[in-house]
Amino acid sequence: MAKLSTLENLADTHGTPLFIVDHDIVRKNYRDFKKYLPRVQVFYAVKANSDPEIIKTLYEQGSSFDVASMNEFLLVHKYIEDLDDDARQKFIWEKIIYANPIKDRGTLRELDKYKPLVTFDNMDEIYKIKEFAPNAGLVLRIKVPNTGAMVELSSKFGADPGTSVEMIETAHSLGLVVEGLSFHVGSQTTNFENYIQALNIAAGIIAEARMKGYEKLKIVDIGGGFPAPYDTNVEPFRELAKKLNSEIDRLFDDKIEIIAEPGRFLVATACTAVASVIGRADRDEKRCYYINDGVYHTFSGIIFDHCKYRLQAFKTGPKEICAVFGPTCDALDTISLAEELPDLDIGDMVYSENIGAYSRASSTWFNGFPPAAIVHINQ
């Protein structure tokens, strides 16, 4: 995080609410991922934070990209529009995966000309891809354990491992090529055993497919879920990496390309929110503060991501338990009912660290309040 003096200066210059992105931290997180998982190619999950400047920084670092909508696809594609056709197509094949397993027909029609990798997890999607995007390469997303993840995904996505080879056979019978498998162990997964089980499930499917003559499976996408260090209960990333490296090398030969879709891990710690107290009241013997940011804006992760963000004050002094609300006329706009802050006056500022993932990405203009302004530092 930037120094407190830097945060205050930026807030004084730009006003609040403010969303500050530190690109040095984005670059550090990317380098750490590559350092500890050298065999794994990074496909940044754009949905975690789709700010174009973050995409630019990661593109310059050599990252590939996981996109889940045409808007996200085009955010990445604009960086290669000036390349010739062959170079542009090579980039799309090697650097982009459209990792939303369910796509509408219009999206598939639009994607087809780009010939990207796309994921699927059911029979209907195979036939849809065949009709509307026959030039795409396919990656089968399988269902794996999500035990202990902050955001569980396996109830919505993933083919049953027992039917996976049948789906590969169906796709090939239609003239499509399944390039590999993918899975997702759930967002902010601190139960590392999820990855071990998922890797073994994937290895078993590949072995069965090869026995039946399907030799073109060459990708294993281990998805996202890599936990951000929100608190000391999260084990260091290097500990997860040790387990992953050992299991990947044991299960997959060099013919298999290993890719991953980190989002939260790359951007969560790179961003800080700064807001101002716009009102205060005492209710039921508890001090209540109202700030000019909330769950319809930067703190949306409280609702959509099941994430808690600790608020801190620039002001020092004895702390007391208080409630903190956002600015809208909706009781849902509650940031915390049990925060510890010093006695604050109207106009005092608070900040929240590690708020870069699945936060401002979901901001709205609800009640007419605009999202926080973005400031980029260390670009």
Residues 222, 260 contacting (CB under 8 angstroms)? yes
In SS3 terms, 218-248 reads as CEEECCCCCCCCCCCCCCCHHHHHHHHHHHH
What is the CA angle 132-73-355, rounded to 5?
135
Check: CB of residue 290 under 8 Å from CB of residue 277.
yes
Measured from the Cβ of residue 162, the count of other Cβ atoms closer than 10 Å reads: 9
Pairing of strands 178-182, 219-221: parallel
Given a contact cutoff of 8 angstroms between Cβ atoms, the answer to whether 100 and 69 are in contact is yes
**How far, in Å, CA of 361 to CA of 126, rounded?**
30
5 CB burial (10 A radius; 0-12, 13-18, 19+): exposed
List phi, psi (to 5°) of 12. Answer: -65, -35
Return all residues near 215 (Cβ < 8 A) that are at least 6 apart. none
> Of 140, 139, 78, 142, whose CA–CA distance to 114 is shortest?
78
DSSP 83: S
User: Based on C-alpha coordinates, what's the Rg of the chain?
Assistant: 22
Alpha-carbon gap, residue 370 to 362, rounded angstroms = 12
Q: How far apart are CA 187 and CA 111, in angstroms?
A: 27
Quote the Cα angle for 126-128-129, to 5°. 65
Phi, psi of 335 (to 5 degrees): -85, -40
**Could you say which DSSP state residue 65 is in?**
E
Three-state DSSP class for residue 260: strand
Residue 230 dihedral angles phi and psi, to the nearest 5°: -65, -30
Active site residue 329: yes
- So which residues are the catalytic ones? 329
